Amino acid sequence: MLRQYLNFRTLLALVAVAIVTGTIFYSNYLSKKIAKEEREKISEWIAANNFIANAQEGTDLTLASQIQQNNNDIPVIWTNEKDSIIDFKNLDLKKSISGEYVRKKLADFKKKNPPIVVVLKESPPVEDRYYYDDSRLLKEIRYFPMFQLLIVALFILIVIYSITIRNKATQNQVWAGMARETAHQLGTPLTSLQGWVEILSDQKENRDISEEMKRDVDRLRLISDRFGKIGSAPQLEHHNIVDLVSNMIAYMRRIAPEKVKFELETQKPDITANISAPLFDWVIENLLKNALDAMDGQGEIKINIAEMANQIIIDTTDNGKGMTKNTISKIFKPGYTTKMRGWGLGLTLCKRIVEQYHKGQLFVKSSEPGRGTTFRIILNR
């Protein structure tokens, strides 16, 4: 069970999570380190201010002035013991004209960092409080992991999308190659069988046998033609959907048990669309065979054909075993089958024919265990 989750996508996601996690921890370490240094820098700046303010005449103020001027990136607001604003530094000068702007900044600074307090007099208490914000560098470091997470997520999506597109292209090439090879392999024995059927038909005593063989050969030729059309882009022509479905129902009646009833409901006898008739027949045949397999030799299969303004909707409904939600999610995947025999390619081919060649839709409209299933085909006019 563990092996099915250990694929390329899982490994890629784990690597991305490890990178982002490591970046978050390292960025957190750096932000704490820079925050500590900035607090020390503000403390030095406050000390330099006080030194300059209290310096006697003739005192060398070079170092203090340099420290004072070096703080050009950390916003600071200082107040008295009652939090009345005395002055500020590194705020937006245009906005600072408004006292409301400075008060809002003060409230914001209080939430971010504890103030640096300078006691001027103990009794009664007189003090200056210095509130400060994070520098731009510190903010960028704190937000960097989020930005990196978005970049990594975007990279993973692009890689997964590229792999998916490539896999689909490879799958399409395999489908087409397999179909063309199947049609090619069937061609030679079919030609030979056709010759033997003509020989048998010339003999009166074998004419009944030759007629049966001819029908089987024609059936094989139709199957070969279908595979040939899957291997290349089929030519779409104007056809009456009702006639094609009626003919397929007539064919299925001959091979279905007597207790299985077929019913065709349609708004009118002439509903047309551009389709590939052999491939469309194959889709309907597969859906009807699946409906028969879902029954225990008895039941009812209904096909409803409805014409909309821009679409034709074909519903195939049976009252057979039905499917669970888990089965519905897998039913169109190559190789998945609930039957003892079969390759699990029937519905996969049907979906490919409807959606890729006819630009329509094929899906399970509804299904309930013990009550039956409805497949819906939507063709664009």
Residues 200 and 296 grouped into a single domain: no
Domain contains 13: no
Q: Are strands 260-266 and 299-307 parallel, antiparallel or unpaired?
A: parallel
Domain contains 114: yes
Residues 172 and 264 grouped into a single domain: no
Residues 251 and 366 grouped into a single domain: yes
Rounded to 5 degrees, φ, ψ at 274 are -85, 110
Residues 314 and 278 grouped into a single domain: yes
Residues 251 and 371 grouped into a single domain: yes
Q: What per-residue confidence (pLDDT) applies to 261? A: 93
Instruction: Name the domain boundary from 220, 245, 262.
Output: 220
Residues 190 and 321 grouped into a single domain: no
Kindly give the confidence (pLDDT) of every residue in the chain, 381 residues in length, as a single tens digit, with 9 standing for 90 and above.
Answer: 455 555 666 777 777 778 778 888 888 888 889 889 888 988 888 888 888 877 877 788 788 888 878 878 888 988 988 888 888 888 887 887 777 888 898 999 998 888 998 888 877 888 889 999 988 888 888 888 778 778 877 887 887 788 788 877 776 666 666 666 676 677 767 777 777 777 777 777 777 777 778 777 777 777 777 776 665 667 888 999 999 999 999 988 988 888 999 999 998 888 999 998 888 988 998 899 889 988 878 899 999 999 988 899 999 999 988 888 888 888 888 766 766 555 566 788 888 889 888 899 999 999 999 889 999 999 987
How many structural domains compose the chain? Answer: 3
Instruction: Name the domain boundary from 93, 109, 139.
Output: 139
Q: What per-residue confidence (pLDDT) applies to 175? A: 65
Q: Which domain holds residue 132?
A: 19-139
Domain contains 116: yes
Residues 252 and 353 grouped into a single domain: yes
What CATH number did the domain enclosing 293 receive? 3.30.565.10
Domain contains 7: no
* Contact (Cβ atoms closer than 8 angstroms) between residue 328 and residue 367: yes
Residues 257 and 330 grouped into a single domain: yes
Domain contains 47: yes
Residues 133 and 82 grouped into a single domain: yes
Q: What per-residue confidence (pLDDT) applies to 68? A: 77
Domain contains 309: yes
Domain contains 146: no
Domain contains 356: yes
Residues 126 and 45 grouped into a single domain: yes
Instruction: Name the domain boundary from 220, 247, 268.
Output: 220
Q: What per-residue confidence (pLDDT) applies to 1? A: 45
Choose among 159, 161, 179: nearest CA to 169: 161
Residues 361 and 305 grouped into a single domain: yes
Q: What per-residue confidence (pLDDT) applies to 360? A: 92
Q: Are strands 260-266 and 272-275 parallel, antiparallel or unpaired?
A: unpaired
Residues 266 and 307 grouped into a single domain: yes
